[in-house]
Structure 1
Amino acid sequence: MIDPFGRKVSYLRVSVTDRCDLRCVYCMAEDMTFLPKAEVLTLEELDRLCGAFIGMGVEKIRLTGGEPLVRKNVISLFRSLGSRIGAEGANGGLKELTVTTNGTQLVKMADDLFAAGVRRINVSLDTLDPAKFAAITRWGKIEPTLDGIFAAKAAGLQIKINSVALKDVNEHEYDHMLAWCGEHGLDLCLIETMPLGDISGDRTDQYLPLSVVRSRLRQNWTLEETDYSTGGPARYYTVKETGRRIGFITPMTHNFCESCNRVRLTCTGTLYMCLGQDDAADLRRPLRDPGVDDAALREAILEAISRKPKGHDFVIDRRRKAPAVARHMSVTGG
């Protein structure tokens, strides 16, 4: 699949649910209204769609949410997709299956994920301070997430910690987090907050440029250039003192769209060609139409890819009260 700007689409992010057991302040409103069950694709429908994308050249699939691991029997989808890893077809087949999670379910699911073929996971963790964790997540407790991280490590999974940089909240914790990740053999990825969805707050109060964070970290750490990439938008450095990596995802201060290789499928079957644009394709309709075969489904996907835009236009500004995109991050899956 080649988009209008010559970029090969090889990475599919799939939101398997819009539901979550936390309410992070940059992701959701506190009082969320979730989708009715009839609008949400079954796991079998998600599997069929993913299979179509794999057949068309997708090499990496990341399951996201909401919180993907709270969806009932979601491990069956992991097993089905994992069985396709290394099963080469005309386009090379699936090479990697990953997941982004808040970690709360990992104690009971880490071994199953590894058995299903998952080898790397991202865990969202914005602070190591229990009180701040509760404030950021609105009602979460840090212990289940930390226990989940260590359970995943024991299961053999490689772990990257995702942390959203929040001004005046966790901006002075990153020296500690970098040391903690180094101690436990984890990579760290910092993310600028993005203007997605009505969160009942002013995003200008949250926004912290990662150029500032990187400059502060360099006062105490040696960040060495590296060409390491996971196929996503992060720019990575090796931390000389720990031997681990730190990544920076900067949709606000550096538009990384020129190398974008991904599209996002929601749990309703809506395909977003860009995280920061509203244009989308409805794949649920052809998926549930008994008269539409897999060939027609692939045509619908190709038509959507032909509309993939050059990039997003994120802006965080006090003069612009509305979010750049109305849907919440939990709907698109990050």
Structure 2
Amino acid sequence: MIDPFGRHITYLRLSVTDRCDFRCQYCMAENMQFLPKSDVLSLEELEILCTAFIARGVKKIRLTGGEPLVRKNIMSLVNNLGRYLQDGILDELTLTTNGSQLEKYADDLYRAGIRRINVSLDTLDEAKFRHITRWGQIDKVLRGIQAAQEVGLSIKINMVALKGLNDDEIDSMLGWCVRNGMDLTLIETMPLGEIDVNRHDQYLSLQDVRDELSANWQLTESEYRTGGPARYLAVGETGRKLGLITPMSHNFCDSCNRLRVTCTGELYMCLGHDDNIDLRKVLRNHQGDRQAVEKAILEALTRKPERHYFTIDPENNRPTLERHMSMTGG
């Protein structure tokens, strides 16, 4: 698949649920109203979508949420997709998780063929973790990370940089990751969905963070890429990498190779636009016909925009889009 700007689309980010067992402040409101079961694609429908994307050239699939591992019977989907890894049709199957269920699922994920996962972790301070996630227990997450490493999963920590909340911990988080054999990716907060705090107060430019980290760490540009939006820096002689995802301060759209599908089957050609195609309607109107889904995907691709235009409105605290990040698939 090639979009109107010549970019090869090989990466699908698929949300398997809008539900999460955390309520992170930058992601969703505390009293979120989740979708009724009938609106959410079944695991069988999700698999049909994946096979359609694979048939059109997708080589990497990332399962997201909400929290993907709270989806009932999620391992049946993971195991079925894992067969495409065994056959060499799919290059990589991975997921992004908050880590709360990793202790339970780490071994199953590895057996299914997953070798690399991202864990969202914004602080190592127990009280601050509870404040940011509202409900989370950091001990449970840390046990999950340990369990994942013990079975052989490579872990990258995703940390949203939040002014006034965890900006004083970024240096120590990098040190913790280096000591424990993990890479770290820092992410700027994005103006998606109504939340209970002012994003302008939270926003922290990663260029400023990089400048501060350079006082204690030797950071050099790296050619390493994972197919995602992060730009990577080598961290001295440690063998570890620091990723920067900068939707606000440094647009990365020129190398975009991905599409996103929500748990309700909405195909978003860009995270920063509301334009979408209803693949659930296509699936259900055509009794799960994969060719009909492929046709809809190719039609949607012709509408993929060149870039997003994220802005934070400091006066009215209005998001660029009403859609929450947890709805689009993180």
Relative to the length of structure 2, the TM-score reads: 0.98
For the aligned residues, what is the CA RMSD? Answer: 1.0
8 Å CA contact 2:15, 2:263 repeated in 1: yes
Q: CA deviation at 1:57?
A: 0.3
Q: Does 1:58 align with 2:58?
A: yes
Q: 57-66 or 168-177, which moves further after superposition? A: 168-177
Q: Which residue of 2 aligns with 1:94?
A: 90
Provide Cα deviations, 1:230-261, integer angstroms capped at 9, x if missing partner.
00010111111422111000000001001100
Q: CA deviation at 1:294?
A: 2.1
Relative to the length of structure 1, the TM-score reads: 0.97
Distance in 1 separating the partners of 2:290 and 2:259? 19
* Count of residue pairs brought into register by the alignment: 330
8 Å CA contact 1:221, 1:241 repeated in 2: no
Q: Does 1:257 align with 2:253?
A: yes
Q: CA deviation at 1:141?
A: 1.3
Question: What letter corresponds to residue 95 of structure 1 in structure 2?
Answer: D
Q: CA deviation at 1:321?
A: 2.9
The secondary structure found in structure 2 opposite 1:94 is coil
Q: 1:174 to 1:291 in 2, by over 3 A?
A: closer
Q: CA deviation at 1:319?
A: 3.3
Question: What letter corresponds to residue 169 of structure 1 in structure 2?
Answer: L
Any residues of structure 2 matched to 1:7-22 within 5 Å, and which? 7-22=7-22
Q: Which residue of 2 aligns with 1:75?
A: 75
Distance in 1 separating the partners of 2:72 and 2:273? 30
Q: CA deviation at 1:155?
A: 0.9
The secondary structure found in structure 1 opposite 2:85 is coil
Superposition misfits of 4+ residues, deviation over 4 angstroms? none
Q: Does 1:277 align with 2:273?
A: yes
Distance in 2 separating the partners of 1:231 and 1:86? 20
Q: CA deviation at 1:224?
A: 1.8
The secondary structure found in structure 2 opposite 1:62 is strand
Distance in 1 separating the partners of 2:186 and 2:193? 20
Match of 1:308 among 304, 307, 315: 304
The secondary structure found in structure 1 opposite 2:310 is coil
Match of 1:111 among 107, 114, 117: 107
Provide Cα deviations, 1:32-55, integer angstroms capped at 9, x if missing partner.
000000000000100000000001
Q: Which residue of 1 aligns with 2:28?
A: 28
8 Å CA contact 1:60, 1:94 repeated in 2: yes
Match of 1:189 among 179, 185, 192: 185
Provide Cα deviations, 1:141-161, integer angstroms capped at 9, x if missing partner.
110111100100001000000
Question: What letter corresponds to residue 289 of structure 1 in structure 2?
Answer: N
Gaps of 5+ in 2: none
Q: CA deviation at 1:83?
A: 0.5
8 Å CA contact 2:188, 2:245 repeated in 1: yes
Gaps of 5+ in 1: none
Report percent identity of matched pairs: 64
Distance in 1 separating the partners of 2:4 and 2:300? 11
Provide Cα deviations, 1:18-69, integer angstroms capped at 9, x if missing partner.
0000000000000000000000000010000000000100000000000000
8 Å CA contact 2:313, 2:319 repeated in 1: no
Q: Does 1:161 align with 2:161?
A: no
Match of 2:131 among 123, 135, 138: 135
Q: CA deviation at 1:320?
A: 4.7
8 Å CA contact 2:206, 2:244 repeated in 1: yes
Q: Which residue of 1 aligns with 2:212?
A: 216
8 Å CA contact 2:120, 2:159 repeated in 1: yes
Question: What letter corresponds to residue 46 of structure 2 in structure 1?
Answer: L
8 Å CA contact 2:267, 2:279 repeated in 1: yes
Distance in 1 separating the partners of 2:317 and 2:215? 35
